[in-house]
């Protein structure tokens, strides 16, 4: 499925990479005036934007028509590791401790989401792509830079998981 | 994507803890099909619907930007449990809190655009 979308975009003369949309949104918002990086013809990126809209719709449809509301079946080892951080076993797709209303309205909860987003946005543009652009499209083309980027994803991810989580939770 | 649970924070945590094959299976399948497809496109010089050859732009050669940028991305990925695509799937799914993450991802992209000339690439 993921590979099918990549070939669909390639066929229509585009490339597959989701985080480019973040740049496109900045450009569409007129931020090109303050930073040259966003001064480009964002309308040429419409196909990827269509994919973004489709992704929102896809999430909605999955929820409305295909959802069983079953908790995610993660491994016991993960559940026990997370319980040490006060995160209870899944009862849906996402932990309430991070995405529930109480969490969002607390200063810490909001800050965590905001920082997470900031790092994803900043890092993906710095590295020139995210999971779709590097791990999937880039590795499909056997590109060394993408392999380095994916190694970076894991360096960051492992640092967060093993060193920073114990500090913040 | 929602069905494969790749949009779940729990799955991302499990992946970074190497405690299940789940995410590696999803990404591995996509990449395996991808490698085969890209190889076919190159071998048979398949063209897109405009009739232009499909070209794969080699990414710029660099180590610093991919390693540093990738690591920053990884920090955010593990924390928020979502890369940009799954963020919006989550919003559609009804996890409104993801809109905060998505908004700040746009802010982060903007910050990069502002200071990119000062960063090692």
Q: What is the ipTM of this complex?
A: 0.91
Question: With contact defined as beta carbons under 8 Å apart, do A56 and B93 qualify?
Answer: no
Residue A89's Cα: distance from chain center in Å? 22
How many angstroms away from the CA of A62 is the closest CA of chain B?
6
Asked if residue B60 has pLDDT above 90, the reply is: no
> Which residues are within 8 A (CB) of B56 and not within 5 positions of it... i.e. 6 or more apart?
A141, B38, B42
Do the Cβ atoms of B109 and A122 come within 8 Å? Answer: yes
Q: What is the pLDDT of residue B12?
A: 95
Q: What is the pLDDT averaged over residues B113-118?
A: 93
Mean pLDDT, chain A, whole residue set: 89
Angstrom distances, CA of residue B121 to CA of B65, B75, B81, B83, B109 = 5, 19, 26, 22, 16
How many angstroms away from the CA of A43 is the closest CA of chain B?
18
Do the Cβ atoms of A120 and B101 come within 8 Å? Answer: yes
Asked if residue A39 has pLDDT above 70, the reply is: yes
Q: What is the pLDDT of residue A48?
A: 80
Percent with pLDDT over 70 in chain A: 97
Interface test with B, best of A64, A132, A157, A158 (most B CBs within 10 A): A157
* Residues A169, A97, B82, B11, CA torsion sign: positive
Do the Cβ atoms of A82 and B13 come within 8 Å? Answer: yes
Do the Cβ atoms of A60 and B92 come within 8 Å? Answer: yes
> Which residues are within 8 A (CB) of A17 and not within 5 positions of it... i.e. 6 or more apart?
A48, A129, A130, A132, A133, A137
Q: Across the A/B interface, how many CB contacts are shorter than 8 Å?
A: 389
Q: What is the pLDDT of residue A112?
A: 96
Do the Cβ atoms of B1 and A55 come within 8 Å? Answer: yes
Could you read off the pLDDT of B89-103 as tens digits, one per residue? 999 999 999 999 999
Nearest to A142 among B35, B97, B110 (CB): B35
Q: What is the pLDDT of residue B50?
A: 81
Residue B111 CA to residue A39 CA, distance in Å, equals: 14
Tell the burial category of A13 from Cβ atoms under 10 Å away from its Cβ (0-12, 13-18, 19+). Answer: middle
Could you read off the pLDDT of A47-89 as tens digits, one per residue? 788 888 988 998 898 888 887 778 899 999 999 999 999 999 9
| pTM, two decimal places | 0.92
Asked if residue A6 has pLDDT above 80, the reply is: no
């Amino acid at each position: 499925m993921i590979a099918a979308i990549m070939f669909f975009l390639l066929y229509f003369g585009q490339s597959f990479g989701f985080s480019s949309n973040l740049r496109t949104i900045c450009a569409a918002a007129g931020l090109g005036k303050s930073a040259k990086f966003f001064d480009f013809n964002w309308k040429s990126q419409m196909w990827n934007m269509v994919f973004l809209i489709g992704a929102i719709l896809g999430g909605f449809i999955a929820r409305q028509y295909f959802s069983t509301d079953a908790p995610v079946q993660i491994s016991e080892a993960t559940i026990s590791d997370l319980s040490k951080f006060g995160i209870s076993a899944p009862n849906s797709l996402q932990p309430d401790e991070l995405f529930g209303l109480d969490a969002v309205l607390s200063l810490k909860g909001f800050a965590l989401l905001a920082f997470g987003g900031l790092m994803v946005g900043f890092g993906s543009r710095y590295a020139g792509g995210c999971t779709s652009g590097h791990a999937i499209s880039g590795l499909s083309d056997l590109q060394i830079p993408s392999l380095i980027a994916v190694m970076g994803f894991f360096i960051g991810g492992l640092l967060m998981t093993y060193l920073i989580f114990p500090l913040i939770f | 994507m929602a069905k494969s649970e790749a949009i779940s924070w729990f799955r991302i945590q499990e992946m970074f803890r190497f405690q299940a094959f789940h995410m590696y299976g999803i990404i591995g399948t996509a990449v395996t099909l991808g490698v085969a497809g890209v190889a076919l496109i190159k071998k048979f010089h398949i063209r897109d619907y405009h009739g232009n050859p499909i070209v794969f732009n080699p990414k710029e050669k660099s180590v610093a930007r991919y390693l540093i940028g990738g690591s920053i991305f990884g920090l955010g990925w593990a924390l928020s449990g979502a890369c940009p695509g799954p963020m919006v799937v989550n919003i559609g799914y009804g996890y409104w809190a993801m809109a905060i993450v998505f908004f700040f991802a746009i802010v982060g992209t903007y910050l990069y655009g502002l200071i990119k000339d000062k960063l090692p690439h």
